Structure 1
Amino acid sequence: MFQSRANSKPEKKSPSPLFSSGQELANLAVSSGLLEQSWAKISELHNELNQNETIRWRVYPESNFLIIAFGTKQLLQEEELVPSTSLPRFQFLCSKSSSSFSIHKTAATLFGRLHDQLSNLKTQVEQFEGQFKDRTRLIITGHSLGGSVASLFTLWLLDSINKRDKEKDKSVIKHTLCVTFGAPLLGDKGFQEAISCSSLWNSCFLHVAANQDLVPRLFISPHNPNAMDIDSQTGAYKPFGTFLLCSASGCTCVEDPDAVSELLEAMGLETAGIQNPNEAWQIFDYGEPVKRLMSILKIKGLVQLGEMTVDTIRAGIILQLEAIGVISIQQNPDNRELIAKMEKREKDSLLKKKMALDPSKKLNDYKMHMAKLEWYKKTCASDKRGYYNSYKSRGSSQKDIEVFKFKKYLNNYWKTEVAEAERKPQTGEAALMTRWLYGGTNYRRMVEPLDIADYYNKGLRDYKTKGRSQHFIRLEQWLEEAKKQNVPASSTDSKKQKVSALLTEDSCFWADVEEALILCESLKNGDQVESTIKNLIKFEEDVMKQIENYAVSPEIFLEESSFMQWWREYEEIMGTSYSSQLTRFMKNDLNKYGSGS
C-alpha cells in the first residue's frame, strides 16, 4: 500500500476560491452604529445652522472616542478644480510620482477661508488626545460639501499625526476615520494617487453614497455633461478611500476607485430623469437610508442565485449590485457586461491587497534569499578569491545559477520597496522606517558588488555614473539623511572588534577597484601618464581612509581578489622606492587587520 502511494502522482490542488466581501464590510459598518451616530451629530448641527452660516462644526467627546462633525447648508455651485500649486497647505501630498494634483475649488476655498479656525480645532483635538490617552478613536464626519471639508481636515490632521509619530515614536490617536455622507468627488487622479499610495491614509476614509443622491456622481461623465471638457490628464474627478453604496435594497462597500466610478455611474440610472439642474445640487437627507439599513441588516444567502453560484466571486458581485439597486436577478438577468467588469476589478483589487497586505511573506522570502547569499559569501572566504571575485568568475554550476537567481529576486524586491517609498507623500523625514532602512543598507552592501561584477564583465566602465541603479542611490541617500538626523555612527573600536564579519561599507568599492585596474592598464599603454597617476594616488588615499575606519572587509586582501591584483600592478608602477601610508600598512600591518588587535 505504501509503495503504491509513493509511486502515485500528487494530487493537484485546486486554487482557493475568491470571494467578494463588499456586503460583509458594509454590514459591519452599519451594525457598528458608526453611520447612525455620525449622522445624528450632523443632523444636530443642521438644525442649529442659520441662513447666514456657511459651515459649523462641533467636537463630541464620547466615552472612548471623539466625533468631530461638520454641518453645512451651502449648495455646490461649480465644478472647477484648482491646482496643488495654489494649495500650499496640502503640499505634503506631493511625491516624486504624484508631483501635482487638483482639488474641487469650492471645497478648497472654504477650507482656506476657515484655516485659522480649523487650526484651533486641530489644537483642541490634540488636547483631547491627552485626556483620552491610548483609548482615543477619532471620527471626523460631514455631509455634502461639509464632507469635503471633513476629508481635507482629516488629511491635514493625518499629516500632523504622522510627523508627531516620527518625533515621539508613538501616536495617541490609534484610529482616525473620516465618514462622509453624499460628498461630491473631491479631486483629480493626482489627488487620488497621492492618498492611495499610502494604504494607511486611504483606509481612513468611508464615503456613504445613496443611489437617490446625485451629488456624489455629479462630476462623473455622462451625468456631468461638462466633465469631458476638463483636461483629461489632471481634470477628471476620481474617488479615493472606501465607498459604502446604498439603496432601498441594501448596501455594499467598494474600494477599487475605477469600480467606484463605474458603480456611481450605474447607480445614476435611477435619477437620470432629473431635468431641473438646481434639483441635482440639493442636499439629500441620509436619515431615512441609515435607519432603513439598520432595519434590513442581514447577509443574503447565495441560494437565490440559482445556477450562478459556481463562481463565488461572481455571486458576491451580483449580490452587491442587487443590494445597491443597480440590477435585479429576476427582472433583468442580462447585465453581463457590468458584472464582468466588476468581477475583473474585484479580482485585480484582491490581488493587489494580497501583495500589499502580506508583508510577512515578502519579508520572509527576502530574509531567506539574503541568508543564502550570506552563506555563499562565507563559503567564498575559504578560497583565495573572495565573494566579489568568486561571483565575477562564476561558471555554469547550480550554485552559480542560484546566486544569480537570489540576486535578481533581491533587486526586484528592493526596487519595489524604494518605488513605493518614493510614491508616498513626503514630509521631510527619512523615507523608510529605521528597520527597513538598515535592511536596505545591508542588502545594498551585499548585492551591489554583484551588479558591479556583472557590469564590468560586459567590458563596460564608469559604473557609478553610467550603470548604477537609481534604487541603490536612493537607499544610500536615505541612510545619509538618517545619520544626520538621529543615528550615531558606530565607533571605530566597535567596528574593529567585528571587522572579520564586515561587509564593505561603500557598496561601490569594487567599481572603484575596477576603474583603478583600468587606469593601470592605460599607464602600460602610455596614456595620460600624469593625470592617471594622480587619480591612482587619490584612490590609494581613499582606500587607506576606509582601512583606518575599518570600513572594508578583510576579504579584499585575499590573494586572488581584484584589489590585490590592482595592488601588485600599482606597486610595480610606483616602484620599490615609493612610500605611503598604504604601502606601509600592506607591508607591516596587513595581518593584524580583522584580528581585532
Structure 2
Amino acid sequence: CLKFIVGIIIFSNVYNIIMQIDNSNSKPLIITGNSLGGSVATLYTLSLLEKFNFTTTKRPLCITFGSPLIGDERLQEAISNYPAWNSCFLHVVSDQDPVPRVLINNGYKPFGTFLSCSELGCSCFEDPQTILELLMAAYSGSPENQDPNKVFESYGTFVEHLNRKALYKDTTDHESLIDWTTPPLRAGIITQLAAIGLVQSQQSQKIDINSVIAKIERQEKTMAILKEQAFDPTKRLNEIKVHMAYLEQYKKLSKDKRIGYYDRYKIGSNKSDIDLEKHKKTLTCYWEYMVDQAEKRPQTEGASLRTRSLFGGTNYRRMIEPLDIADYYKAGKQDYINKGRRKHYIKLEQMLKETVRPSSGPNQMKKQNVAASLTEDSCFWAHVEEALISCKLLSSGGSSVEQKDSAKKELIEFEKYVFDLMKNYAVSSEIFLPQSSFMKWWGEYRQITGASYSSSLTNLLKNDNNYVAYANGSLEFPLNFV
C-alpha cells in the first residue's frame, strides 16, 4: 500500500501542471504504470479524457502491467459501451502475477483490452466476462514464485518477446482439441488459450479446459447477438417520429373540440385515449433509455450526441409530461414537482439548460407560432393544479388562518409565474380554451378575489380580447408584474 500512497501523492503534485499541457500536439501521449501504479495511470488517463477534447487530436493510450482492477460494474459499463474511451486502455497481465486478480471477488470489473501473457505467448481479450474467467483460470502463480521483482522483470521479457513472436503462437499441444469439424469460433478460442499456456497447464492445475472453452464460446456468441441487436437510436428515429405525430394529431383534434389535450386526456377514457397510452408508453421507454445512456456515457465525448437528441427530447418532455401530471392529480395526489416527477424529465430539462442559453425575450417568430407551440415549462399544468388546490383552501370554511395565508402567497406567486410565461410567449394559447383547467382556475380565483382586485395578470385575463391577441402574437405587456 505504501507504493500506492506514494503514487497518489506524486500524481496529486503534478496533476495541475500536467493538466496545463497543450493537447493539440499531434504526438500521442502514453501513460503507463506497474502494479498499483497501473491503477494510478488508469485514473489519470480517465481524468485526461474527461478534461480535454480529443476530437481533433490523438487520444492518450494507457498501458498497465499487472494492475489491479478498478471500478465497479457501472464504471465498466460506462467505459466498455463507449469504444472511443475503451480503446485507450491496454492492460498486460502475466499468468504468474497475483495483483490483477486480488479484487475479483470484491465486485471490481475490467474494462479495456487485456493482453494475457505466459511463457508460451500472448493473447488479447476484450469481453469483460471472458477476462474475469481467464484471470482466474490462467493463473499459474504460487507462493514460491510471487517475488514482486521477478514478476516485474517478467513483463519486460514479455515485451521483448512480442517483437519476435506472432501474437497467437500456434502449438502442437492443443491438436487433440481441434480437428477439421471444429467450428471456427471454437478453434480460435482454443488457439488463444493455448497461446497463454492454459491448454498445457490444464492437467497440472486441474483445469477443466473444455468447460472454460464452452463458457467463453457462449459468451462470445451472446456478445455477437447483443451487438447485432444493439439499441441504435438513429434507426428508431423515424419510428419515434410516428409516435410523436400521433400526439400532435391528438393535440390538434382536442383544440378543435375547444379543450386542450391536457384536459381531454385528464377527463377522457375513449378509444383514442387508450391508443394514446400505447404511443405514450413507447415514447417514454425510448427517452428513459436515451437519458440513462447519456448519464452512463462519458460527458465530454457524449455532448455531441446529447445535443443532437436535445430537440427531440425537449419536444417529448413538453408533450408527454403534462399527461403524467394529469394522471398524478387525477389520482388525488399533490406536489407533483417534488414528489411525482420522473428522473428522466428532470435530466432532459437540465440538459436543455446546460446547452441552450435563455433568451432575453420573445422574437417575432415565437410570437407568431405561439398558437401551435407547446408550453415551454413542461410542469405548467402541475402549477395550475396546485393553484386550484390553493383556491379550494381559500374557499373552504375548514381551512385554518395559516393555511389560507399560505394559499394566498402561493397564488400570488402563481400569478407572477403565469405572467412571466405569457410575457415571453412561453405558454401555449391553448390554456385560454373554455374547458381548460387554467380557465377553471381563473374563474374560481376571480370569484375569490372580487371585482376590485387588480394585478398585471388579472387585468389581462379580464379582457377576453386579450386571449385572441395573445394567440396572434400581438398582445402588449406591461414592463413589470404589479
* TM, length-normalised to structure 1: 0.65
Please point out which of 131, 145, 158 is paired with 1:260.
131
In the alignment, what sits opposite 2:466? 589
Following superposition, the deviation at residue 455 of structure 1 comes to: 0.9
CA separation of 1:572/1:279 partners in 2, compared to 1, >3 Å: closer, same or farther?
closer
Q: Deviation digits for residues 169-217 of structure 1, max 9, x if unmatched?
A: xx3314443344x432253537954962772322211234454xx23x4
In the alignment, what sits opposite 1:378? 252
Higher relative contact order (CA 8 A, sep 6+): 1
Tell me if 1:408 matches 2:281.
Answer: yes
Tell me if 1:293 matches 2:190.
Answer: no
In the alignment, what sits opposite 1:449? 322
Please point out which of 259, 265, 280 is paired with 1:391.
265
Q: Is contact 1:176–1:204 with CA below 8 Å preserved after alignment? A: yes
* 1:69-84 matches, cutoff 5 A: 80=1
- The alignment partner of 1:593 has SS state of helix
In the alignment, what sits opposite 2:99? 218
Q: Deviation digits for residues 423-465 of structure 1, max 9, x if unmatched?
A: 45668x9898333344332221111101101112212222112
In the alignment, what sits opposite 1:518? 389
Q: Deviation digits for residues 465-523 of structure 1, max 9, x if unmatched?
A: 2211122223323433445xx56556343421221221101111111222222333444
Q: Deviation digits for residues 572-592 of structure 1, max 9, x if unmatched?
A: 333444444334323131111
CA separation of 1:548/1:338 partners in 2, compared to 1, >3 Å: closer, same or farther?
same
Q: Is contact 1:384–1:558 with CA below 8 Å preserved after alignment? A: yes
In the alignment, what sits opposite 2:25? 128
- The alignment partner of 2:62 has SS state of strand
CA distance in 2, matches of 1:263, 1:430: 35
CA separation of 1:144/1:576 partners in 2, compared to 1, >3 Å: closer, same or farther?
closer
CA distance in 1, matches of 2:245, 2:126: 37
Q: Is contact 1:111–1:152 with CA below 8 Å preserved after alignment? A: no
Please point out which of 63, 67, 85 is paired with 1:184.
67
Q: Is contact 1:195–1:202 with CA below 8 Å preserved after alignment? A: no
- The alignment partner of 2:277 has SS state of helix
In the alignment, what sits opposite 1:140? 30
CA distance in 2, matches of 1:520, 1:120: 60
CA distance in 1, matches of 2:269, 2:367: 35
CA distance in 1, matches of 2:440, 2:423: 21
In the alignment, what sits opposite 2:480? none
Tell me if 1:571 matches 2:446.
Answer: yes
Percent identity, aligned pairs only? 42
CA distance in 2, matches of 1:175, 1:551: 43
Q: Is contact 1:251–1:324 with CA below 8 Å preserved after alignment? A: yes
Q: Which runs of 5+ in 1 are unaligned?
A: 1-79, 81-104, 130-135, 166-170, 222-226
In the alignment, what sits opposite 2:232? 358
Q: Deviation digits for residues 383-424 of structure 1, max 9, x if unmatched?
A: 211221222233251x32332122223223333333344445
Tell me if 1:277 matches 2:150.
Answer: no
Higher strand share: 1
In the alignment, what sits opposite 1:419? 292
CA separation of 1:396/1:159 partners in 2, compared to 1, >3 Å: closer, same or farther?
same
Q: Which runs of 5+ in 2 are unaligned?
A: 475-482
In the alignment, what sits opposite 2:50? 159
CA separation of 1:449/1:351 partners in 2, compared to 1, >3 Å: closer, same or farther?
farther
Following superposition, the deviation at residue 290 of structure 1 comes to: 4.0
* 1:502-513 matches, cutoff 5 A: 502-513=373-384
- The alignment partner of 1:500 has SS state of coil
- The alignment partner of 1:360 has SS state of coil
Q: Is contact 1:517–1:566 with CA below 8 Å preserved after alignment? A: yes
In the alignment, what sits opposite 1:553? 428
CA distance in 1, matches of 2:361, 2:190: 60
CA distance in 2, matches of 1:431, 1:126: 20
CA separation of 1:341/1:358 partners in 2, compared to 1, >3 Å: closer, same or farther?
same
- The alignment partner of 2:235 has SS state of helix
CA separation of 1:498/1:243 partners in 2, compared to 1, >3 Å: closer, same or farther?
same
In the alignment, what sits opposite 1:433? 306
In the alignment, what sits opposite 1:205? 89
Letter in 2 for 1:566: W
CA distance in 1, matches of 2:122, 2:277: 51
- The alignment partner of 2:471 has SS state of coil
CA distance in 2, matches of 1:476, 1:253: 42
CA distance in 1, matches of 2:17, 2:391: 68
CA separation of 1:203/1:405 partners in 2, compared to 1, >3 Å: closer, same or farther?
farther
- The alignment partner of 1:207 has SS state of strand
Q: Is contact 1:248–1:289 with CA below 8 Å preserved after alignment? A: no
Which is further off, 349-358 or 462-471? 349-358
CA separation of 1:386/1:320 partners in 2, compared to 1, >3 Å: closer, same or farther?
farther
Q: Is contact 1:418–1:474 with CA below 8 Å preserved after alignment? A: yes
Following superposition, the deviation at residue 149 of structure 1 comes to: 6.1
Following superposition, the deviation at residue 354 of structure 1 comes to: 5.3
Letter in 1 for 2:209: N
Tell me if 1:499 matches 2:370.
Answer: yes
* 1:20-99 matches, cutoff 5 A: 80=1
* TM, length-normalised to structure 2: 0.78
Following superposition, the deviation at residue 527 of structure 1 comes to: 3.8
